[in-house]
Amino acid sequence: MSILVTPQTRLLVQGITGAFGARHAQLSIDYGTQVVAGVTPGKGGQIFEHRGVKVPIFDTVAEAVRETKATASAVFVPPPFAADAILEGIDAHLDLVVAITEGIPVIDMIKVKRAMQGSTTRLIGPNCPGIVTPGEGKDSHGGCRIGIAPGYIHKRGHIGVVSRSGTLTYEAVFQLTSRGVGQSTCVGIGGDPVNGTSHLDVIQMFMADPDTHGIIMIGEIGGSAEEEAAEWIKAHGTKPVAGFIAGATAPPGRRMGHAGAIVSGGKGTAQAKFDAFRAAGIGVSATPSEMADTLLKMM
């Protein structure tokens, strides 16, 4: 099993005719993902073709879903228009929208969050690397890749990875794979202050997934999402969890890379998050290079 995406997931790519969207649509097709539609307003009726796979392009998400039965979307749309692209997916009742776009205005995302109240659509991101459920073997048969993560570093197995940082997601995955240890699903939730899916959301799904036997949780300074996840793990966790927090040396009050990685009012510090991890029985990795080993020692 896995969480959120499976080989049956039917993906549409919003912004498939742009250079970035096109490149990652190709990589997802190569990985074995069912890419069934593209959406670019004004280019409906065209065909996106890669290695014999012909993907029809539509003007709207609603039309694409109606014609292709797409169940998930990857958003590769410029920041000024990305919130509307997400809302299109919500209005079309997609199961999942993965927003890769970085730099979406916070006020736009607040509007999106309001629109999602009562919706059945789950949003991952924005400003995230996406999600990968690894397949079997070198050709990743049976896998699903949505976003920008390098599929070739993944290996099918039983460790769940959830992270605010894209590059640290890849680091954790590569460490595991290098040790011969595979992953069930890897989720990059993004580093923006207003996002769709939290650490806690993903942790709860991993805990309920019988195919996930251990979890690596990677956080950053800023906000309280990691502490909330740790509190839930302390009360309800049934599987080993190892954690790392990036930004321990960041000066207070200064934004560090991700829009959500800012410490203010004494809250959101790396030390507070490490303390919460230890109190919950989460194995703390002192450096990024020890994430996989910390979990494997616990297991």
Give pLDDT tens digits for 157-189. Answer: 999 999 999 999 999 999 999 999 999 999 999
Same domain, 76 and 211: no
Same domain, 159 and 112: no
Question: Does any domain span residue 140?
Answer: no
What would the two tokens of residue 262 be? 């800012």
Q: What is the mean pLDDT of residues 76-105?
A: 97
* CATH at residue 266: 3.40.50.261
- Please report the pLDDT score of residue 252 as a whole number: 66
154 given a catalytic annotation = no
- Confidence at 105, pLDDT banded by 50, 70, 90: very high
- Confidence at 12, pLDDT banded by 50, 70, 90: very high
Q: What is the mean pLDDT of residues 21-46?
A: 97
- Confidence at 262, pLDDT banded by 50, 70, 90: low
Judged against a pLDDT cut of 60, whether residue 263 lies above it is answered with: no
Same domain, 106 and 178: no
- Please report the pLDDT score of residue 7 as a whole number: 92
- Please report the pLDDT score of residue 146 as a whole number: 98
Question: Does any domain span residue 64?
Answer: yes
Same domain, 37 and 169: no
- Supply the range of the domain harboring residue 231: 155-298
- Please report the pLDDT score of residue 141 as a whole number: 62
- Please report the pLDDT score of residue 259 as a whole number: 54
Please indicate whether residue 271 or residue 218 has the higher confidence score (pLDDT): 218
Judged against a pLDDT cut of 80, whether residue 53 lies above it is answered with: yes
Same domain, 229 and 275: yes
Same domain, 76 and 169: no
Question: Does any domain span residue 146?
Answer: no
Same domain, 65 and 195: no
Same domain, 229 and 118: no
Question: Does any domain span residue 205?
Answer: yes
Judged against a pLDDT cut of 60, whether residue 138 lies above it is answered with: no
- Please report the pLDDT score of residue 267 as a whole number: 58
Complete edge-to-edge strand list for the sheet that includes strand 183-188: 144-147, 130-133, 183-188, 156-163, 214-220, 241-246, 283-284
Q: What is the mean pLDDT of residues 223-249?
A: 94
Judged against a pLDDT cut of 80, whether residue 258 lies above it is answered with: no
* CATH at residue 83: 3.40.50.720
| Cα–Cα dist 100/24, whole Å | 11
Same domain, 163 and 294: yes
Residue of 24, 154, 199, 258 marked active site: 258
- Please report the pLDDT score of residue 254 as a whole number: 61
Question: Does any domain span residue 247?
Answer: yes
Q: What percent of the chain has pLDDT over 70?
A: 92
Judged against a pLDDT cut of 80, whether residue 10 lies above it is answered with: yes
Question: Does any domain span residue 145?
Answer: no
- Please report the pLDDT score of residue 126 as a whole number: 97
Q: What is the DSSP string of the chain?
A: --SS--TT-EEEEETTTSHHHHHHHHHHHHHT-EEEEEE-TT-TT-EEEETTEEEEEESSHHHHHHHH---EEEE---HHHHHHHHHHHHHTT-SEEEE--S---HHHHHHHHHHHTT-S-EEE-SS--EEEE--BTTTTBT-EEEES--GGG--EEEEEEEES-HHHHHHHHHHHHHTT--EEEEEE--S-SS-S--HHHHHHHHHH-TT--EEEEEEESSSSHHHHHHHHHHHH--S-EEEEEE-TTPPTT---SSTT---BTTBS-HHHHHHHHHHTTPEEPSSGGGHHHHHHHH-
Judged against a pLDDT cut of 60, whether residue 266 lies above it is answered with: no
| Cα–Cα dist 201/94, whole Å | 18
Same domain, 212 and 98: no
User: How many domains are there within the chain?
Assistant: 2
Same domain, 165 and 270: yes
- Please report the pLDDT score of residue 253 as a whole number: 62
- Please report the pLDDT score of residue 256 as a whole number: 58
Place of tokens 């949003």: 123
Question: Does any domain span residue 279?
Answer: yes
- Please report the pLDDT score of residue 132 as a whole number: 97
Question: Does any domain span residue 72?
Answer: yes
Q: What is the mean pLDDT of the chain?
A: 93
Judged against a pLDDT cut of 90, whether residue 264 lies above it is answered with: no
Judged against a pLDDT cut of 80, whether residue 135 lies above it is answered with: yes
Same domain, 176 and 93: no
